[in-house]
């Protein structure tokens, strides 16, 4: 396994690098490290003693003194030559360095509205904290943490910006008020951070010139404990009581490359589905998926609880008490569809249970819902692989037609599975009626064959739909046009053509129908190996209209 260790370590560095930081006492790590190495630690920090820490004299490091002297010398030199060019406020005077810092929490409360601890801090220091340049001349940061028996965890959410506003209240004594520490109710509940809590605040004050990487080398630190009474978020954030949950599936697809069914759910409910806190603290989800042709032959794929619960917690409100889920991705074992014989259009049902745990001591409120759907599964090529969804030719069907081009009439008819008696000539020379139909765009199109009158060879096919419902015929042509563009690509029609079908609008169509004169619009595509496909919409002079799809040997 050592080989695999090394392989994984070296080939998945991102696994290591994406690990989030954990709270650790840096001072303790540094002290242990230097102790193990037998080295003297470069800087010692003041330690807290009771509520107020003892002042610890600040010691400037010798190299820093040297650097400062050098810097002053350079500044002095530059200043002599550049002084006339400098405006009076061109650079900020260095703020006084500090030698001690003490800190105490003077006041603490909890603001229910902001769901935040509000602190007033008092500091004793020889840093000039209320100097007008203090916000940019010093860097103050603070951390609040909680220590339990074995771990110490920081609480994020302290408003660091508030630490730039200090007011002098006495000699070397300052006060900073209304520092908020926002509490994440989810973190609070998960970590049982409720009731009277003993917390710890560390205040760091960095001063002096910034180094090359933009930080200040010199700092003072003070630490102070404080106690706060934290209310329970389970009461404050409990969602309102829910009374109903109706589920439907608005979209169901099969993602073939990933072998997953992807469902988009719609819910009508008085639950607060888009309330993130409610989702994380109070709602839990469980689902099962069934696939089968009918309810008596359902195949239980087993439950997938946990496989994709995240998406069941992500809902967007789309209307009053109406929500849409993020796509719910359900993996389907690769061999399952084969073994179960499921393919093509398949019905399914999703059984979803949502539990609402607003009162943990009693049974949850639960809704059990079922949503039916149909999904197009792979493996039905014999039905759909050789035609588009609307029924246009593609794949093997198109290849078969192309093979028949140029064949003697009798052979072609035979190979198409037609009998000679079945095929009858039309008044137009070279056009033959087969008596067969093909469903295209939900309409039954008549199938015709085209033969060369001079060679008696087959060279193409027609599919024709004719009727008196002009609006419906226009809609049929529109649908076929869209489908053809999707399946065959952009038309190859001569761009300057005046009667392109894609440019036809409803007004022009209605006007042409009213006039009752023969007029047509068309688009062409080059498809397959050597086929030209032409879609034509025609207004006839006998109060009818027709859609004609022609597949023929490309000249």
Partner 1 sequence: MKKEIDRKLLTTLKAQDPRALESAIDRYSPYVAGVLRKVLGTLGTREDLEELASDVFVALWRGAETLREDSDLKLWLGVVARNRALKHLRGLRLELPLDEDILPGGEESPGRFWERREEAQAVRDAVLQLDAQDQEIFLRHYFWRHGVRQIALELDMKESTVKSRLKRGRDKLRTILKKED
Which parts of this chain interact with partner 1 (CB under 8 A)?
1-4, 6-13, 15-17, 19-26, 28-30, 32-34, 36-37, 39-43, 150-152, 212-213, 258-259, 305-307, 309, 331
Helix (H/G/I), strand (E/B), else coil: 56: coil
- Cα separation, 492 vs 494, in Å, equals 6
With beta carbons less than 8 A apart as the criterion, state whether 110 and 118 touch.
yes
At its nearest, how many Å lie between partner 1 and the CB of residue 331?
7
- Cα separation, 533 vs 527, in Å, equals 7
With beta carbons less than 8 A apart as the criterion, state whether 338 and 320 touch.
no
Nearer to partner 1, 7 or 69 (CB): 7
With beta carbons less than 8 A apart as the criterion, state whether 398 and 545 touch.
no
Strands 365-377 and 101-111 turn out to be unpaired
Nearer to partner 1, 22 or 498 (CB): 22
The 3-class secondary structure across 95-117, one letter per residue, is CCCCCCEEEEEEEEEEECCCCEE
Nearer to partner 1, 149 or 454 (CB): 149
Nearer to partner 1, 212 or 360 (CB): 212
DSSP 53: P
At its nearest, how many Å lie between partner 1 and the CB of residue 91?
24
Nearer to partner 1, 9 or 54 (CB): 9
- Cα separation, 397 vs 412, in Å, equals 14
Rounded to 5 degrees, what are φ and ψ at 59?
Answer: -115, 115
With beta carbons less than 8 A apart as the criterion, state whether 321 and 269 touch.
yes
At its nearest, how many Å lie between partner 1 and the CB of residue 408?
50
Across the chain, which distance is largest between two alpha carbons, in Å? 116
- Cα separation, 89 vs 314, in Å, equals 53
Is the Cα torsion angle 318, 319, 320, 322 positive or negative in sign? negative
At its nearest, how many Å lie between partner 1 and the CB of residue 26?
5
Give the residue from 327, 343, 329, 368 showing the smallest Cα distance to 291: 343
Nearer to partner 1, 109 or 192 (CB): 192
Nearer to partner 1, 150 or 454 (CB): 150
Nearer to partner 1, 8 or 73 (CB): 8
With beta carbons less than 8 A apart as the criterion, state whether 433 and 424 touch.
yes
Nearer to partner 1, 28 or 362 (CB): 28
At its nearest, how many Å lie between partner 1 and the CB of residue 18?
10
Strands 173-182 and 167-170 turn out to be antiparallel
Give the residue from 511, 525, 516, 514 showing the smallest Cα distance to 480: 525
With beta carbons less than 8 A apart as the criterion, state whether 209 and 139 touch.
no
Tokens for 381? 């090529």
At its nearest, how many Å lie between partner 1 and the CB of residue 527?
35
At its nearest, how many Å lie between partner 1 and the CB of residue 143?
12
At its nearest, how many Å lie between partner 1 and the CB of residue 445?
42
DSSP 357: -
Nearer to partner 1, 41 or 437 (CB): 41
Tokens for 153? 């965890």
Nearer to partner 1, 264 or 329 (CB): 329
At its nearest, how many Å lie between partner 1 and the CB of residue 190?
14
How many other C-beta atoms are found inside a 10 Å radius of the C-beta of residue 99? 15
At its nearest, how many Å lie between partner 1 and the CB of residue 64?
10
At its nearest, how many Å lie between partner 1 and the CB of residue 332?
11
Radius of gyration from C-alpha coordinates of the chain: 39
């Amino acid at each position: 396994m050592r080989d695999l260790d090394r392989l994984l370590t070296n080939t998945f560095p991102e696994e290591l690098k994406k690990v989030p930081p954990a709270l650790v006492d840096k001072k303790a790590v540094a002290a242990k490290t230097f102790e193990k190495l037998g080295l003297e630690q470069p800087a010692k920090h003041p330690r807290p003693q009771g509520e107020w820490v003892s002042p610890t004299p600040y010691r400037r490091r010798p190299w820093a003194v040297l650097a400062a002297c050098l810097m002053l010398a350079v500044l002095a030199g530059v200043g002599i030559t550049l002084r006339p060019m400098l405006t009076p406020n061109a650079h900020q005077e260095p703020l006084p360095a500090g030698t001690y810092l003490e800190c105490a929490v003077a006041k603490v409360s909890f603001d229910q509205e902001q769901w935040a601890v509000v602190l007033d801090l008092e500091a004793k220091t020889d840093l000039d904290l209320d100097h007008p340049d203090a916000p940019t001349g010093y860097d103050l940061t603070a951390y609040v943490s909680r220590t339990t028996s074995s771990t110490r965890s920081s609480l994020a959410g302290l408003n660091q910006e508030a630490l730039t506003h200090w007011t002098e209240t006495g000699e070397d004594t300052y006060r900073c008020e209304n520092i908020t520490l926002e509490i994440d109710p989810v973190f609070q509940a998960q970590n049982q951070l409720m009731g009277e809590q003993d917390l710890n605040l560390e205040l760091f004050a960095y001063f002096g010139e910034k180094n090359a990487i933009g930080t200040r080398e010199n700092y003072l630190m003070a630490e102070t404990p404080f106690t706060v009474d934290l209310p329970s978020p389970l009461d404050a954030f409990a969602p309102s009581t829910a009374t109903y949950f109706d589920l439907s599936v608005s979209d169901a697809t099969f993602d073939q490359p990933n072998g997953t069914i992807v469902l988009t759910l719609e819910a009508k409910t008085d639950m607060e589905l888009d309330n993130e806190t409610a989702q994380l603290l109070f709602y839990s989800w469980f689902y099962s998926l069934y696939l089968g042709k009918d309810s008596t032959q359902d195949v239980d794929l087993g439950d997938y609880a946990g496989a994709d619960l995240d998406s069941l917690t992500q809902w967007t409100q789309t209307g009053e008490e109406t929500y849409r889920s993020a796509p719910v991705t359900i993996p389907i074992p690769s061999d399952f569809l084969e073994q179960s014989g499921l393919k093509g259009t398949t019905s399914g049902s999703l059984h979803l249970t949502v539990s609402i745990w607003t009162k943990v001591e009693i049974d949850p409120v639960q809704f059990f819902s079922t949503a039916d759907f149909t999904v197009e599964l792979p493996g039905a090529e014999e039905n759909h692989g050789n035609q588009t969804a609307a029924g246009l030719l593609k794949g093997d069907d198109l290849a078969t037609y192309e093979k028949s081009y140029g064949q003697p009439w009798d052979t072609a008819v035979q190979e198409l599975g037609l009998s000679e008696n079945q095929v009858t000539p039309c008044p137009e020379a070279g056009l033959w009626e087969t008596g067969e139909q093909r469903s295209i765009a939900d309409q039954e199109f008549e199938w015709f064959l085209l033969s060369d009158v001079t060679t008696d060879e087959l060279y193409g096919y027609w599919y024709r739909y004719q009727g008196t419902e002009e609006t419906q015929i226009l809609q049929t042509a529109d649908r076929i046009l869209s489908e053809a563009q999707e399946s065959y690509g952009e038309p190859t029609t001569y761009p300057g053509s005046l009667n392109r079908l894609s440019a036809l609008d409803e007004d022009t169509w209605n006007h042409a129908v009213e006039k009752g004169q023969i007029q047509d619009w068309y688009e062409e595509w080059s498809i397959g190996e050597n086929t030209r496909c032409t879609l034509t919409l025609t207004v006839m002079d006998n109060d009818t209209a027709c859609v004609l799809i022609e597949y023929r040997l490309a000249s």
